[in-house]
Amino acid sequence: MKHAEWKTRRHRKLLGAAVDENTQYDRLYEEAELAHDLGQLVYDRRAALGLQAAYFVAELTGLNTREGWPDGTRLIVRRVKPSGRQIKKLTGFERKTGWRYSITATNIGRMWGIAGSHQPQFLDVLHRDHAEVEDRVRTNKAMGLHNLPSKSWDVNRGWMLAANLAADLDAWLRLLGLHDVDDLADAEIDTMRFRLYHLPARLTKHARCRWLRIDSTWPWAKAFTVCRQRLTGLPALT
């Protein structure tokens, strides 16, 4: 049901006019009222504590008058206070209002088994979390996918396979061995190369044992040894 239909039924109901029974409308309108009341309570509490809201989320689906949109498309708008580096990129409307706006178009109505998945706030968080995927794509480009080495399809295919394997190993290394190291868990790939991957060390054998010799003055020697111990301590696949 569109926003215009909601308003029409609501006005007719307030004026005492006869309104056809519609259980879907009643259920959706009740959910909207509960969401509004909850948002108002949160806003009032933040205002009482002296906390200013940093962003707001709303749905503009019912206000969209443009044609050609696929059925089921929802428009979720988010406004935030712009940072210093974003000031120069603001539009005239954004400069006038003092907010930076972004709109997400999605066809997600409700995710089965997830309460509240139809709410605009849930969809906003869901799509913003997708930035992690884009971040990994940027990392993959830095690990070899930005430029292909040959005009040959087979050579480039092998190159992409090797680059993707390297990106997967990098991701698993951070997850299994560096998850609690703040300056390495989310570090850029160039930083990882300098601190760990190109580490000045030697792996030697003596008395039927392998010895890892690392310069004790290297700032990330401990992080490397802890990571190596965690990875070598994983159970072998059988």
Residues 79, 73: contact at Cβ < 8 Å? no
Closest to 197 in 3D by CA, of 217, 227, 175: 227
Asked if residue 26 is part of any domain, the answer here is: yes
The predicted structure's pLDDT at residue 24: 63
The predicted structure's pLDDT at residue 28: 63
| Residue pLDDT, tens place only, 22-81 | 566 666 667 667 766 776 676 667 666 665 567 788 888 877 777 888 888 888 888 888
The predicted structure's pLDDT at residue 51: 57
The predicted structure's pLDDT at residue 89: 86
Does residue 181 share a domain with residue 156? yes
Does residue 35 share a domain with residue 149? no
The predicted structure's pLDDT at residue 140: 87
The predicted structure's pLDDT at residue 162: 93
Does residue 127 share a domain with residue 33? yes
Asked if residue 48 is part of any domain, the answer here is: yes
The predicted structure's pLDDT at residue 161: 93
Asked if residue 124 is part of any domain, the answer here is: yes
Pairing of strands 55-59, 100-106: unpaired
Residue 217 lies in domain = 132-232
The predicted structure's pLDDT at residue 9: 57
114-142 exposure pattern, b = at least 16 Cβ within 10 A, e = fewer: eeeebbbbbbbebbeeeeeeeeeeebbeb
Does residue 7 share a domain with residue 122? yes
Distance CA 7, CA 13 (A): 10
The number of folded domains in the chain is 2
Does residue 82 share a domain with residue 17? yes
Does residue 190 share a domain with residue 136? yes
Asked if residue 238 is part of any domain, the answer here is: no
- Strands of the 74-80 sheet, one edge to the other: 55-59, 74-80, 100-106
Using DSSP's 3-state secondary structure scheme, residue 130 falls into coil
- The residue type at 67: E
Does residue 203 share a domain with residue 97? no
The predicted structure's pLDDT at residue 2: 46
Q: Along the chain (238 residues), what's the average pLDDT of each consecutive run of 10 residues?
A: 50 56 63 68 66 75 80 87 82 87 86 82 81 81 88 93 92 90 87 88 86 86 89 83
Does residue 149 share a domain with residue 206? yes
The predicted structure's pLDDT at residue 6: 46
The predicted structure's pLDDT at residue 21: 61
Alpha helices in the chain (DSSP H): 3-14, 23-48, 92-97, 120-128, 131-140, 153-177, 182-185, 189-192, 221-232
* DSSP classification of residue 6: H
- State the Cα torsion 227-230-231-236 to the nearest 10°: 180
How many whole angstroms from its chain centre is CA 92? Answer: 28
Does residue 10 share a domain with residue 121? yes
Q: Measure Cα distances from 231 to 43, 152, 174 in Å.
A: 47, 37, 11
Does residue 123 share a domain with residue 9? yes
